[in-house]
């Protein structure tokens, strides 16, 4: 299996784990994925994330979050920019997700941040994903 889009894989693994009612999603670790997980934790979409040793290299464990009646906190996730079609926005064009109820994840020159932080910092960048 050739891995062409690790970010889409990251989102899909979390989506699948939520669908299957798992407590955590485990995937190969990368600094970028760890940054995405950090934002999901900060925004309250997932419980926590940790890096643990794997057979080869390291694994990223994302502990998922559910509501009282075991419904996933994340309603949806969408990859915006793909390896075949990158999407960039200026600081003024960072989109709001679900009328501000969701989170846009933007990869900027100052690191990975939410759309809200990017607007505040006045930086644009690559639209990585949307979470709601």
Residue 71 counted as domain residue: no
- The three-class DSSP label of residue 102 is coil
CA quadruple 124, 95, 127, 37: dihedral, nearest 10: 110
Backbone angles phi, psi at 95, to 5 degrees: -75, 155
Q: Are residue 43 and residue 87 in the same domain, yes or no?
A: no
Domain span at residue 120 reads 77-131
Residue 70 counted as domain residue: no
Q: Are residue 59 and residue 81 in the same domain, yes or no?
A: no
**Beta strands of the chain (E only): which ranges?**
24-28, 46-53, 58-64, 77-79, 88-89, 103-108, 111-114, 125-131
Of the pLDDT bands very low, low, confident and very high (cuts 50, 70, 90), residue 108 is very high
Q: Give the count of domains, the chain.
A: 2
Residue 69 counted as domain residue: no
Question: For residues 11 and 14, what is the distance between their CA atoms, to the nearest angstrom?
Answer: 5
Domain boundary among 22, 39, 64: 64
Q: Are residue 49 and residue 86 in the same domain, yes or no?
A: no
Of the pLDDT bands very low, low, confident and very high (cuts 50, 70, 90), residue 3 is low
Residue 1 counted as domain residue: no
Enter the tokens of residue 96: 């709001």
Q: Are residue 10 and residue 59 in the same domain, yes or no?
A: yes
Per cent of the chain over pLDDT 70 is 98
Domain boundary among 21, 43, 64: 64
Instruction: Please tell me the pTM assigned to this model.
Output: 0.90
CATH number, domain of 84, equals: 3.30.1490.10
Q: In the predicted model, what is the mean pLDDT of the chain?
A: 94
Residue 35 counted as domain residue: yes
| Residues 42-62: tens digit of each pLDDT | 999 999 999 999 999 999 999
Domain boundary among 43, 64, 85: 64
Per cent of the chain over pLDDT 90 is 91
């Amino acid at each position: 299996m050739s891995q062409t889009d690790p970010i889409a894989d990251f989102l899909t693994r979390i989506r699948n784990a939520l669908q299957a009612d798992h407590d955590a999603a485990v995937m190969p670790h990368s600094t970028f994925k760890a940054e995405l997980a950090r934002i999901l934790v900060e925004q309250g979409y997932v419980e926590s994330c940790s890096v643990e040793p794997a057979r080869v290299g390291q694994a990223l464990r994302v502990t998922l979050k559910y509501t009282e009646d075991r419904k996933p906190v994340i309603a949806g996730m969408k990859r915006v920019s793909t390896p075949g079609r990158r999407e960039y926005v200026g600081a003024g064009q960072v989109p709001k997700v679900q009328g501000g109820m969701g989170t846009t994840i933007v990869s900027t020159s100052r690191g990975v941040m939410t759309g809200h932080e990017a607007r505040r910092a006045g930086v644009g960048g690559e639209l990585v994903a949307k979470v709601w």
